Structure 1
Amino acid sequence: MSVLIEVVTDVAADPGVVFDLELDVDMHTASLRGSGERATTGSGRRRLQLGDEVTFHARHLGLPWRMTSRVTAYDRPHRFVDEQTRGPFRSLHHEHLFAALPGGTRMTDRMSVTAPAGPLGAVVAHLVLAPYLRRLLRRRAAHVKQVAESAGGRR
């Protein structure tokens, strides 16, 4: 059974600025420094594009994690999707949406996660993973917001 996590953040910056920051691998790792996040890309590019893969190494919940995701949909500056291709979850689908607002952007992270281990995994996903991932998404969104707004990304 999947768990759905949604985080909505309003940013006083242009959708293109916010979109590009969300695809920047270095921005992602900077936003999650506390977990020792490191990332390598298959293409060598630091800003991901359609079809690119990135592998993240980090420590979460006291355990070392390794996950590879691929950008499977890309419609700049409105939407992109990344999906786990290898990693700890049975599946992970992360949709990033960017809607123009007067003076900024509404950024929505919509993540669907299915844990391994059947019914026990579903319980762990609801009780432990969902709250933890929601906090990570909020932390990353706050970092992107701060960088976008301080970079003069306002319209």
Structure 2
Amino acid sequence: MAVISLTSLVDAPLQRVFDLSRSIELHIISTGRTNEKAVEGVTGGLIGLGETVTWQAFHLFKQRRFTSKITAFDPPFYFRDEMQNGDFKKFEHDHFFKLVKGKTEMKDRVILESPFGLLGTIVTRLFLKRYITTLLLERCKIIRDYAETDKWKTILTDKNG
């Protein structure tokens, strides 16, 4: 098992950062290098409590498919997505948001566990933790870029937030 914790400070309103973090469209933009697509469940707009999305993406030399569900939701301060099926034995992503001196602090905490016992643990420590951290850092960078500029208006419409 591995735990990844990241903290970003975003110069934008709390609600905007929260909504961008659960936007399917922005997720797709932030995962452009893996060609991630939402193929089932919520495939556009903002995902919410109890909803699922199935992603298809090219990760680690292979086309993969995995489903995530929003299992906890306390807007605009927190939500959790958990992998329901996919390659990991466990993948839980907690998203925390709070105001700090007029800015939004965004914290990501991911708990991941690979299958395959000891071999999976070794692969996680040597490679997967760094790989997932890189993906999360890119995601945080994109959220910050959209939230701090007028780009957010292309994602958050009257229809979805």
Give the aligned partner of residue 151 of structure 1.
150
Distance 1:45 1:27, change over 3 A: closer
For 1:72, the aligned partner's letter is T
Per-residue CA deviations over 1:48-98 (Å, capped at 9, x if unaligned) read 010000011111121111110000000001000000001000011100000
Whether the 8 Å contact between 1:19 and 1:98 is mirrored in structure 2 is: yes
Shift of 1:44: 5.3
Give the aligned partner of residue 45 of structure 2.
46
Question: Helix, strand or coil: the match of 2:94?
Answer: strand
* 2:102 corresponds to 1:103: yes
Question: Within 2, Cα distance between the matches of 1:25 and 1:64?
Answer: 19
User: How many residues align structurally?
Assistant: 152
* 2:65 corresponds to 1:66: yes
Question: Within 2, Cα distance between the matches of 1:139 and 1:46?
Answer: 20
Give the aligned partner of residue 90 of structure 1.
89
Distance 1:43 1:26, change over 3 A: closer
Give the aligned partner of residue 14 of structure 2.
15
**Which structure 2 residues correspond to residues 109-120 of structure 1 after superposition, within 5 A?**
109-120=108-119
Distance 1:122 1:40, change over 3 A: same
User: Mind listing any 5+ residue stretches in structure 1 that lack a counterpart?
Assistant: none
Whether the 8 Å contact between 2:23 and 2:44 is mirrored in structure 1 is: no
Question: Helix, strand or coil: the match of 1:47?
Answer: coil
Q: TM-score, normalised by structure 1?
A: 0.94
Q: Which moved more, 1:129-138 or 1:102-111?
A: 102-111
Q: TM-score, normalised by structure 2?
A: 0.90
For 2:118, the aligned partner's letter is P
Whether the 8 Å contact between 1:13 and 1:152 is mirrored in structure 2 is: no
Question: Within 2, Cα distance between the matches of 1:49 and 1:25?
Answer: 11
Shift of 1:103: 2.3
For 1:66, the aligned partner's letter is R
Aligned-residue identity in percent: 34
Give the aligned partner of residue 35 of structure 1.
34
User: Mind listing any 5+ residue stretches in structure 2 that lack a counterpart?
Assistant: 153-161
Distance 1:75 1:20, change over 3 A: same
| Higher normalized contact order (CA 8 Å, seq sep 6+, divided by chain length) | 1
